[in-house]
Structure formats: structure tokens, C-alpha cells
Chains A and B, each alone.
Chain A
Amino acid sequence: ETGVTQSPTHLIKTRGQQVTLRCSSQSGHNTVSWYQQALGQGPQFIFQYYREEENGRGNFPPRFSGLQFPNYSSELNVNALELDDSALYLCASSDGGKVGNTIYFGEGSWLTVV
């Protein structure tokens, strides 16, 4: 039990639609990052939020966007869904004020695009 919770756990969307995934970070953690994991692959970094601002981004197009709220929970939004967006989306939280901190993952949200 990591204290990182994600919702929904599973969802199915149609190509072209938009989706919002949600994440509650572990208590006291001010940094949230999102990862995409396609079937059979390792997780790929999407972006990171620290104290409500994006401060790092992987190789993902602008239709992947996010928010972090004052309570440090976070949302991942994906617009104009494509079939290749089908994946497990992982949220992870950490304490950005601590050097060499530990990153804890949630159980993920499974997105299927049809």
C-alpha cells in the first residue's frame, strides 16, 4: 500500500474522444509524475508536476496535458485519443524537498481506445 490512489481503474474510450485520469498523492508529497506503459514495455515518463507547476516532460505530444492542485493531487488529460494511447497510465508521488527521495506508484488506470 503506497498511499497513491488512481481513478478510474479501467475505462474504454472511442478514438477522438478526450479522457481525464486522476491521482491522489501520498500524504506530504508535493511532486507527482505520470507514466505511460504500453503492453510489454516499461513505463515511459510523460511529465512531472512540482508544487502545481510542470517541471519536466517526456517525449509526448501537447495533447497530453496535466494539472496539479493545491492539495497536490493531479489530473492527466489526453485529447483526441488515438488507438496507440491504449495503455496503463501510472501516477507516482514523491517529496520533492528531499534529495534522493523515494517515488511511490499507484496501481494505474487501464485505458483502452477503440
Chain B
Amino acid sequence: DAKTTQPPSMDCAEGRAANLPCNHSTISGNEYVYWYRQIHSQGPQYIIHGLKNNETNEMASLIITEDRKSSTLILPHATLRDTAVYYCIVRVGNYGGSQGNLIFGKGTKLSVKP
């Protein structure tokens, strides 16, 4: 079963920041937080991941709380093309191919509206 809890749906106005929350209260010390999104009928798209520090890339920012029990994905200026299902996943990070697989939950359906 997925180790994360996300709201089933959220709305966001175009041009505004979208803040997607995720709870992972049972996360272990060697588990990373990953975010993917999936637009209908396409393969999941990697967005960002982190262990304990906040991370930023060209797509989004990831804010992880100090106790690592929750995180927030921030899309700074949402566009209509950001409408998708967003998955928050925790995954073990190890060497040598023994890294955990991705366990997808139901995700958050983000609807960006004009």
C-alpha cells in the first residue's frame, strides 16, 4: 500500500501558485519523497524528489518539513497544461538496483482553471 496521503482533488487559478500537500508520517530515514504527474493516457512524468532538504528545479519546488512527515509540491505559476494527477511517493534509496519500486496511490487531481 502507498505510504502517502493526498487530497483527491484541488483547483487552482491559472497564473497562481499551486500548492499540493502530501502526508507521509511513517517515512523512514532512507526514504526519499518523489513527485510525479500523469496527464491522461500518458506515462508518468518525473517532477522532483528530495530526502530532507528543500529542492527546486525548473518545474517545481519541494518543501519537506523538518520532521519529514509531510511535504508540499509548489508549481509557482500554474498553467492549463499543469492539469493532471499528481502522485506523491516515498521510496527507499539504496545502491545496486536494490532501491525500492514506486508505489502509487490515488494521487491528487489538480484542475487549473482560466
Judge if B43 is at the interface, Cβ distance under 8 Å: yes
B21: CB under 8 A from chain A? no
Decide yes or no: A100 and B46 within 8 Å by CB, A33-B101, A45-B101 being known contacts: no
Residue in B45, B101, B106 whose CB lies within 8 Å of A105: B45
B93-A100 in contact (CB<8A): yes
Residues B93 and A101 in contact, CB atoms below 8 Å apart: yes
Question: CA separation between A96 and B94, bound complex, in Å?
Answer: 8
Q: How far is the CA of A97 from the CA of B98 in the complex (A)?
A: 9
* CB atoms of A42 and B107 under 8 A apart: yes
A56, A97, A99, A107: the one contacting B42 at CB < 8 Å is A107
Bound Cα distance from A96 to B93, whole angstroms = 10
Number of interface residues of A (CB under 8 A): 33
In the complex, the answer to whether A90 meets B96 with C-beta atoms within 8 Å is no
Stretch among A13-21, A47-55, A78-86 lining the B interface: A47-55
> Contacting B102 at CB < 8 Å: which of A50, A55, A99, A103?
A103
- B99 engages A96 (CB within 8 Å): yes
8 further A-B pairs in the complex, CB-CB below 8 A; given A43-B44, A56-B98: A42-B87, A42-B107, A50-B97, A94-B99, A96-B97, A96-B98, A97-B95, A107-B42
Sampled A-B contacts (18; CB under 8 Å) = A2-B43, A2-B46, A4-B43, A42-B105, A45-B101, A45-B103, A48-B97, A50-B96, A51-B97, A56-B98, A58-B101, A96-B98, A99-B95, A100-B93, A102-B49, A103-B34, A105-B36, A108-B43
